[in-house]
Amino acid sequence: MLFDMEIDMSDESTTVPEKYRRDGAREYHNDHIVVYWEPRLCIHSRHCVRGLPEVFNSQRRPWIEIDAAMADEIAATVAQCPSGALSFARLDGGLEEVVPDETTVTPRPNGPLAVRGRLRIVAADGTLIREATRVTLCRCGHSENKPFCDGSHRCVGFQAP
């Protein structure tokens, strides 16, 4: 087992309005908010399941119960996800995620670099890999999803303050 929090990849996504569809993401929505989940980016930091367990519960299917809290609470919790595996859009005109003025890079103990800001991750050939406000970048060298962390640092016993 790679992670201590395994999530069944067979979760059924709901269908969101076309303009809010996001390729490669599972989508969970009601009339107020759509939450996107990109499993390949998840580092299982557990901010979501600890912060709003009535909505985010890895033992339940589907693991996101979008009607179990107010959209503002869900948005605030999603914005804490360091990897950006969780993101959201408001369908009711509510507040969107605030993009930080500054870019910050924070090493996570024995893990990746957590980066926040208005980010554009670009490949050496100029190809845009990702635009985001939150990413976690591998610093152990063992990720199978570089430049993003995939949790492999735990398997290899990566140590760094």
**Nearer to ligand FES by C-beta: 91 or 137?**
137
Task: Work out how close the CB of 44 gets to ligand FES at its nearest, in angstroms, rounded to a whole number.
Answer: 11
Contacts with 88 (C-beta within 8 Å, 6 or more apart), sequence order: 33, 34, 35, 36, 74, 75, 78, 79, 97
User: Residue 74 CA to chain centroid, in angstroms?
Assistant: 13
- Measured from the CB atom, the residue of 79 and 114 that comes closer to ligand FES is 114
Nearest distance, CB of residue 16 and ligand FES, angstroms: 30
Residue type, 74: I
CB of 155 to ligand FES, least distance (A): 8
What tokens does 154 get? Answer: 């735990």
In the three-class reduction of DSSP (H, G, I as helix; E, B as strand; rest coil), residue 14 is classed as coil
Residue length of the chain = 161
Is the Cβ of residue 84 or residue 112 nearer to ligand FES in the bound state? 112
CA-to-CA distance for 13 and 43, rounded, in angstroms? 20
User: With contact defined as beta carbons under 8 Å apart, do 26 and 11 qualify?
Assistant: yes
Would you say 16 or 140 has its CB closer to ligand FES? 140
- In the complex, the residues that contact ligand FES under the rule CB under 6 A are 111-112, 138-140, 142-143, 149-153
- Closest approach, Cβ 55 to ligand FES, in A, equals 26
